[in-house]
Amino acid sequence: MIKHDIVIIGGGPAGMAAAAAAYDSGVKDVVIIDREEKLGGILKQCIHNGFGLHKLGKELTGPEYAAVYEKAVADRGIKVFYETMVTDISEGRTVTAQNSGGILKIEAKAVVLAMGCRERSRGALNIPGTRPAGVYSAGTAQKLINCMGYSVGKRVVILGSGDIGLIMARRMSLQGAKVEAVCEIMPYSGGLTRNIVQCLNDFGIPLYLSTTVAEIHGRERVEGVTVAQVDQNRRVIEETKRYIPCDTLLLSCGLIPENELTSTAGIPLSAVTSGALVDEHRQTEHEGIFACGNVLQVHDLVDYVSDEAEIAGKSAAEYVKGNLHSAVTVKTAAGNGVRYVLPQRVTVPPKEDISLFLRVTQPFGKVRYTVKSGDEVLAAAVRLKAAPGEMEKITVKAERFKNINEEITVSLEEVQ
Residues that bind other proteins (CB under 8 A): 44, 47-50, 53-54, 59-64, 67, 145-150, 174, 176, 192-194, 196-198, 202, 300-301, 390
Q: Give the Cα separation of 286 and 74 in Å (integer).
A: 30
Query: Which residues are registered as beta bridge partners of 155?
Result: 178
State the nearest-atom distance from the C-beta of 37 to other proteins, in Å.
Answer: 11
Q: Please, which residue, 50 or 224, has the CB nearer to other proteins?
A: 50
State the nearest-atom distance from the C-beta of 299 to other proteins, in Å.
Answer: 11
CB 33 within 8 A of CB 105: no
State the nearest-atom distance from the C-beta of 340 to other proteins, in Å.
Answer: 20
Kindly provide the residue ranges of all beta strands, DSSP E only, lying in 65-186, ordered along the sequence.
Answer: 79-81, 85-89, 94-99, 102-113, 117-119, 135-137, 155-159, 178-183
State the nearest-atom distance from the C-beta of 317 to other proteins, in Å.
Answer: 29
Q: Please, which residue, 23 or 51, has the CB nearer to other proteins?
A: 51
CB 414 within 8 A of CB 364: yes
CB 85 within 8 A of CB 97: yes
Q: Give the Cα separation of 221 and 97 in Å (integer).
A: 38
Task: Report helix angle 302-320 to 13-24, nearest 10.
Answer: 40
Query: Which residues are registered as beta bridge partners of 181?
Result: 157
Residue type, 407: E
HEC sequence for 133-157: ECEEEHHHHHHHHHCCCCCCCCEEE
Q: Give the Cα separation of 356 and 347 in Å (integer).
A: 13
Q: Please, which residue, 11 or 350, has the CB nearer to other proteins?
A: 11
Q: Please, which residue, 54 or 235, has the CB nearer to other proteins?
A: 54
State the nearest-atom distance from the C-beta of 59 to other proteins, in Å.
Answer: 8
Q: Give the Cα separation of 27 and 328 in Å (integer).
A: 26
Q: Please, which residue, 259 or 297, has the CB nearer to other proteins?
A: 297
State the nearest-atom distance from the C-beta of 46 to other proteins, in Å.
Answer: 9
Residue type, 59: E
Q: Please, which residue, 123 or 176, has the CB nearer to other proteins?
A: 176
Q: Is 48 helix (H, G, I), strand (E, B) or coil?
A: coil
Pairing state between β 338-342 and 354-360: antiparallel
State the nearest-atom distance from the C-beta of 55 to other proteins, in Å.
Answer: 12
State the nearest-atom distance from the C-beta of 391 to other proteins, in Å.
Answer: 10
Q: Is 186 helix (H, G, I), strand (E, B) or coil?
A: coil
Q: Please, which residue, 38 or 221, has the CB nearer to other proteins?
A: 38
Q: Please, which residue, 145 or 277, has the CB nearer to other proteins?
A: 145
Q: Give the Cα separation of 110 and 4 in Å (integer).
A: 9
